[in-house]
Amino acid sequence: MDTKALRQKILDLAIHGKLVSQDPNDEPASVLLERIRAEKERLIKEGKIKKGKKSAKTSDKPHYPFELPKGWEWTTLGEISNYGINTSVKVEEIDDNNWVLELEDIEKDSAKLIQKLSKNKREIKGTRHKFYKGNVLYSKLRTYLNKVLIASEDGYCTTEIMPFDTYGILSNEYICHVLRSSYFLDYTLQCGYGVKMPRLSTTDACNGVIPLPPLHEQYRIVKEIKRWFTLISMIEKEKDNLRETIKQAKAKVLDLAIHGKLVPQNPNDKPAVELLKRINPKAEIISDNGHYQKLPVGWTICRLKDISKIVTGSTPSKSNRGYYGGIFPFFKPADLDAGRHVYKATECLSEDGKKVSRVVPKGATAICCIGTIGKVGYLMYEGATNQQINCAIPSKVVDSVFLFYLCASPLFNDKLNSESSAVTISIVNKSKIEAISVPLPPLAEQKRIVSKIEEIFAQLEAIETAL
């Protein structure tokens, strides 16, 4: 379920007058507008606000985006609010304990406050806009991020945020919802200026057309939106919980797999130790060290180096640009985020770059050994890696995919991290990776384990995709 799209659908229904029913007894929005005009005339006479400039008429019958229900009226943000009329204050004039709001404090789309800091907890210069509790706070910078909210208390904000209030007794919460709707977002994207950091000018903001319902209907709309958004937030929370449950379930499946508890054993399978000794006579058979208690008959414990060749990556000289720009994959830790199937590399080497690199085959398991220790990926193509990655190239005693799942297991990850040493960045060297003890089932059972893991993972991922 796309909850972002669902929120926008709710807002779309709201501003079209389709979220709540109309009440013929409600005072029409035209009366509200007349009161607002009267209030503005009074404020102009008192010298508290300036008389606005009249927009040039393009038609006797202006075109509006959609039809409104009876009792509603089209207006503009400039007609119903003091948008653009701000009090600017130098930072040094702000008290240390006053709330200072920056753009990064607001989560995109949801407009939730990520943090709420006072001046003494920030390093800021220049000027800020003063705002008051109940004001609409509208980000005119990159409006597509949808950072619009109601001020919970008095404070000061970056000049990229425009605080404003509406005239009369309009619902600021309703106006906030209009500004967050896809309809108004589309308008701001059409008239915003700037390429990298598009902004909405004050003139264009004030000219933005607003669908205005009767006052009591505004309140009903706000209440209904709140009800729906609360339900959506509950869904999102449950989705996050389910994703975490799926993550934990996958970890449990891998834990069962490497302890011989995921699939039944077959007494006819050739014991792992026989195959291991025949292929690698020098392999060190390890007694149970407590990590793999009561392994099934036919299993054995050995070192990672006994079942795979560990290759540490390297980076061809960056000063020689002839090494880069080809088609040969050069994998880095970020590329391992794909997990089980690593198809793409963010950077590629030329043939010359390939010649000076340590090439690893398709089917190798890439293990991050510097920085994000334990992140793994199964390489779907032959390639090379940088020095942050050690690759385990499987021998004939181990199935390549089983080796990947073995290295992806929580226990292997714990062992890897326990071997890390760091001053500023965690590092596990090649020799320590090679020495990690691992369980080895019979080859036939490895294949059954892989088949079962992928069956279960496919079911879990189908659930996750459906969220």
pLDDT tens digits, 206-250: 999 999 999 999 999 999 999 999 999 998 899 889 999 999 999
Angle at 359 between CA 434 and CA 368, to 5 degrees: 45
For residue 325, the SS3 value is: strand
* Residue in the block written with tokens 């977002």: 185
Cα 137 to Cα 103: distance, rounded to the nearest angstrom? 11
For residue 263, the SS3 value is: coil
Cα 418 to Cα 357: distance, rounded to the nearest angstrom? 29
Q: How many helices (H) and strands (E) does the chain have?
A: 14, 20
| Beta sheet of 308-312, edge-to-edge order | 308-312, 389-394, 365-368, 376-378
Q: How far is CA 421 from CA 114, 371, 373, in A?
A: 34, 11, 11
Cα 202 to Cα 136: distance, rounded to the nearest angstrom? 15
From first to last of its 467 residues, the chain has per-residue pLDDT tens of 688 899 999 999 999 999 999 999 999 999 999 999 999 899 888 887 777 655 444 445 567 889 999 999 999 999 999 999 989 999 999 999 999 999 999 999 888 999 999 999 999 999 999 999 999 999 999 999 999 999 999 999 999 999 999 998 899 999 999 999 999 999 999 998 988 899 999 999 999 999 999 999 999 999 999 999 999 999 889 988 999 999 999 999 999 999 999 999 999 999 999 989 888 888 877 765 555 567 898 999 999 999 999 999 999 999 999 999 999 999 999 999 988 899 999 999 999 999 999 999 999 999 999 988 989 999 999 999 999 999 999 999 999 999 999 999 999 999 998 888 766 778 899 999 999 999 999 999 999 999 999 999 999 999 888 87
Residue 200, both tokens = 């909405």
For residue 96, the SS3 value is: coil
Cα 227 to Cα 206: distance, rounded to the nearest angstrom? 30
Q: Are 225 and 19 in contact, with CB atoms under 8 Å apart? A: yes
Q: Is 262-445 a CATH 3.90.220.20 domain? A: yes
Residue 393, both tokens = 């190239």
How many other CB atoms are found less than 10 A from the CB of residue 17?
20
Class (C level, CATH) for 3-49+64-222:
alpha beta
Q: Which of 350, 351, 403, 342 has the alpha carbon at shortest distance from 378?
A: 342
pTM confidence score: 0.68
Q: Are 334 and 389 in contact, with CB atoms under 8 Å apart? A: no
435 secondary structure, DSSP code: T
Q: Are strands 161-164 and 136-139 parallel, antiparallel or unpaired?
A: antiparallel
- Quote the strand ranges of 132-284, DSSP E: 136-139, 148-150, 155-157, 161-164, 209-212
Cα 285 to Cα 272: distance, rounded to the nearest angstrom? 11
Q: Which of 13, 454, 416, 113 has the alpha carbon at shortest distance from 253?
A: 454
Q: How far is CA 25 from CA 28, 170, 248, 394, in A?
A: 9, 18, 55, 78
Cα 158 to Cα 154: distance, rounded to the nearest angstrom? 14
How many other CB atoms are found less than 10 A from the CB of residue 262?
18
* CATH 3.90.220.20 residue ranges for the chain: 3-49+64-222, 262-445
Q: Are 311 and 393 in contact, with CB atoms under 8 Å apart? A: yes
* Residue in the block written with tokens 């929120």: 7
Q: Torsions phi, psi of 145, nearest 5?
A: -75, -15
Q: Which of 316, 288, 265, 310 has the alpha carbon at shortest distance from 444?
A: 265
Residue 4, both tokens = 């972002």
